[in-house]
Amino acid sequence: MVDIIIVSTPGIGSNTPQAAPALLKGSVESAGFSCKTVDFNLRLYQTFKKDVDRFNSYFMVGSNPEIDEQAKSFVENCAKELVAMNPRYIGLSVFTYQNKISTRLFCEYIKKLSNISIILGGQGLSEGGLEGQSSFGETLFKEGLADYWIKSEGEVSLVELLKGNTSYPGINSNSFQQLENLNNMPFPNYDDYDLTAYRHVVLPITGSRGCIRSCTFCDIHEHWKYRFRTGESIAQEMLYLSKKYNVHSFNFSDSLINGSLKEFNQFVKILMEHNKTEPIPIKWRGQFIVRSPNQVDEIFWQNIAASGAEYLAMGVETGSDSVRSHMNKKFTNADLDYTMEMFAKYNITCLFLMIVGYPSETDEDFEQTLEMFERYQKHAGHIIKNVAVGTTLAILPGTELYRSAQQLNIELDKNENNWIAFDNPTCTLEKRIERRMRLRDHLIKLNYPLLDDSGDEVFEVIKTNLPALNTRTKIKKMIRIKQQNQSKIVS
């Protein structure tokens, strides 16, 4: 009997190996327990092939009568397969909120078929960002559909649970104990994966948790204190996995890869030396923060290119220094210009991550974003491989914007997109959506490839669910009421 089967559930919308099951398998087996990993997200692609997008959408948002029976039958058959293996535990990896529908179905079918204990884990359990409460896990626990749920740091919490220590921090609790030394964690184990079956054979790597930045719209730095591995430890893991599984492409799961310049430079030098002598060089991708010229010299960029860096994702967010300063991004347009100059000189490709509709964003700020892309048009499709326009800014619980809403004169709403900035009354949801669509059209006109052009559907959903859209008329009325209430308090 295997101690635990760890399952990648459908709904991710990506045909690449997932990090969590392999990381957990490495930890569980290092502690002396047996573990098997199963990727039913891959199975979804193999089963439905050209029609897989419809089924991914079903598990992401649900409600499609045309394929309801097929989707449920797929999960039921997968659940039967798990139960037939007769493990002590079944662990369901809830990577994102998009896995919730399939996770609930798995729990229902497994409980109908057996008494096997179910463990839920992953950030998809939380509501409202990383710092939200794990209400989905708790709900399934209270309904008797799951026996345990783990908030974070499952590499340790899961092992403690298997040992019988069910009171360990993070088990059936929204509090957890952060790992202080990531260098001590075992390497991930992909032995159960047929890596040739994936559309993109790219292995994930985790070099750090948390972030050295404290952007006002983000909750990552609230969830984890910044902890990072040594550059040598990261590089050795990549070289080990590359040799063992004959894989040469890696993608960092970190919020940023160059938080510690000392360790990042060490990592880069090891990979650079490796690539000099190998017939197939290692390539790697990750999220990258913009640094100023006084922090990194030109040799820094030469080494990065030689180490195999490509497609570095940068949170540019806006073309306005004013807005970026309010976001606490800690870099300027001049810093970005320098970075783009180096990217172009050493042929390092990148992805721009954008945010439209920040509370302080004015028409002038937005025009500066449009002008930025005109300035960088020569890099479109060559150095700037993609632009992620995203939706409009949502204010998540656990972020600085959320906590400072009253101080910033922002009216929040249960719908995270439908906030009102009283100090910037023209920045309505209607205006924010309009700006987002203008940016999209502007990028297409300038021949920038868009990472995901499905945002139009998102906005239709927003409009449908917000009949009382916060138009200028509504805002003026609310401002007047707010002023009247403040006058009454003063008097």
Render 253-306 in DSSP notation, one character per residue: -SS-S-SSHHHHHHHHHHHHHHHHH-SS--EEE-B-----TTT--HHHHHHHHH
For residues 351 and 449, the answer to whether their CB atoms sit within 8 Å is no
> Is residue 289 domain-shared with residue 433, that is, in the same domain?
yes
Confidence tier at 124 by pLDDT (50, 70, 90): confident
**pLDDT value at 486 more than 60:** no
Percent of the chain with pLDDT over 90: 65
Between 61 and 471, the higher pLDDT residue: 61
> Is residue 77 domain-shared with residue 150, that is, in the same domain?
yes
> Is residue 154 domain-shared with residue 207, that is, in the same domain?
no
CATH number at residue 109: 3.40.50.280
> Is residue 277 domain-shared with residue 152, that is, in the same domain?
no
User: What is the structure's pLDDT at 482?
Assistant: 46
For residues 228 and 208, the answer to whether their CB atoms sit within 8 Å is yes
Helix axes 100-113, 68-84, angle to 10 degrees: 50
Between 180 and 314, the higher pLDDT residue: 314
> Is residue 345 domain-shared with residue 477, that is, in the same domain?
yes
> Is residue 279 domain-shared with residue 421, that is, in the same domain?
yes
Residue 82: its H or E element: helix 68-84
User: What is the structure's pLDDT at 380?
Assistant: 97
User: What is the structure's pLDDT at 485?
Assistant: 47
| Distances, alpha carbon 315 to alpha carbons 10, 177, 301, 350, 389, in Å | 28, 28, 19, 11, 11
Q: Using one digit for the tens of pLDDT, what is the confidence trace for 153-165?
A: 778 889 999 999 9
Q: CA 210, CA 200: separation in Å to the nearest integer? A: 27
Q: Is 351 helix (H, G, I), strand (E, B) or coil?
A: strand
Which residues are CB-neighbours of 143 under 8 A, at least 6 positions away? none
User: What is the structure's pLDDT at 67?
Assistant: 93
Q: Using one digit for the tens of pLDDT, what is the confidence trace for 221-240?
A: 565 577 788 999 999 999 99
User: What is the structure's pLDDT at 224?
Assistant: 57
Picking from 350, 378, 477, the residue whose alpha carbon sits closest to that of residue 422 is: 477
The pairing of strands 208-209 and 227-228 is antiparallel
**pLDDT value at 461 more than 90:** no
Within a domain: 66: yes
Q: What is the mean pLDDT of the chain?
A: 87
Q: How many residues does the chain have?
A: 491
User: What is the structure's pLDDT at 178?
Assistant: 66
Within a domain: 406: yes
Confidence tier at 102 by pLDDT (50, 70, 90): very high
**pLDDT value at 462 more than 50:** no
> Is residue 91 domain-shared with residue 139, that is, in the same domain?
yes
Q: Which of 154, 176, 198 is the last residue of a domain?
A: 176
Within a domain: 329: yes
**pLDDT value at 7 more than 50:** yes
**pLDDT value at 278 more than 50:** yes
Q: Span 262-266, mean pLDDT?
A: 94
**pLDDT value at 481 more than 70:** no
Q: Span 414-426, mean pLDDT?
A: 91
**pLDDT value at 470 more than 80:** no
How many domains does the structure of the chain reveal? 2
> Is residue 270 domain-shared with residue 376, that is, in the same domain?
yes
Q: Using one digit for the tens of pLDDT, what is the confidence trace for 388-404?
A: 998 899 998 888 999 99
Within a domain: 181: no
Q: Using one digit for the tens of pLDDT, what is the confidence trace for 358-369?
A: 999 999 999 999
> Is residue 228 domain-shared with residue 357, that is, in the same domain?
yes
Within a domain: 400: yes
Q: Which of 121, 142, 176 is the last residue of a domain?
A: 176
Instruction: Show the domain range for 27.
Output: 4-176
CATH number at residue 356: 3.80.30.20
In the chain, the amino acid numbered 433 is I
- Token digits for 308? 């195999």
Picking from 331, 328, 320, 327, the residue whose alpha carbon sits closest to that of residue 373 is: 320
User: What is the structure's pLDDT at 223?
Assistant: 59
Within a domain: 422: yes
Give the burial class of 44: count Cβ atoms within 10 A of its Cβ; 0-12 exposed, 13-18 middle, 19 or more buried: buried
Q: CA 45, CA 41: separation in Å to the nearest integer? A: 7
**pLDDT value at 34 more than 80:** yes
- Token digits for 158? 């899961």
- Token digits for 148? 């345990």
User: What is the structure's pLDDT at 237?
Assistant: 96
Within a domain: 347: yes
> Is residue 127 domain-shared with residue 221, that is, in the same domain?
no
Confidence tier at 218 by pLDDT (50, 70, 90): confident
Between 121 and 116, the higher pLDDT residue: 116
**pLDDT value at 6 more than 80:** yes
Q: CA 421, CA 479: separation in Å to the nearest integer? A: 10
Residue 463: its H or E element: helix 455-465
- Token digits for 391? 């939706």
CA angle 194, 451, 447 (to 5 degrees): 135
**pLDDT value at 471 more than 90:** no
**pLDDT value at 129 more than 80:** no
User: What is the structure's pLDDT at 127?
Assistant: 65
Q: Give the predicted TM-score (pTM) of the model.
A: 0.83
> Is residue 171 domain-shared with residue 208, that is, in the same domain?
no
**pLDDT value at 483 more than 70:** no
Within a domain: 182: no
Confidence tier at 491 by pLDDT (50, 70, 90): very low
Range among 1-15, 72-86, 452-466 with highest mean pLDDT value:
72-86
Confidence tier at 97 by pLDDT (50, 70, 90): confident
| Distances, alpha carbon 22 to alpha carbons 39, 153, 313, in Å | 10, 14, 24
> Is residue 135 domain-shared with residue 18, that is, in the same domain?
yes
Q: CA 394, CA 97: separation in Å to the nearest integer? A: 16
**pLDDT value at 176 more than 90:** no
Confidence tier at 208 by pLDDT (50, 70, 90): confident
CA angle 280, 284, 286 (to 5 degrees): 175
Q: Which of 151, 176, 201 is the last residue of a domain?
A: 176
User: What is the structure's pLDDT at 177?
Assistant: 67
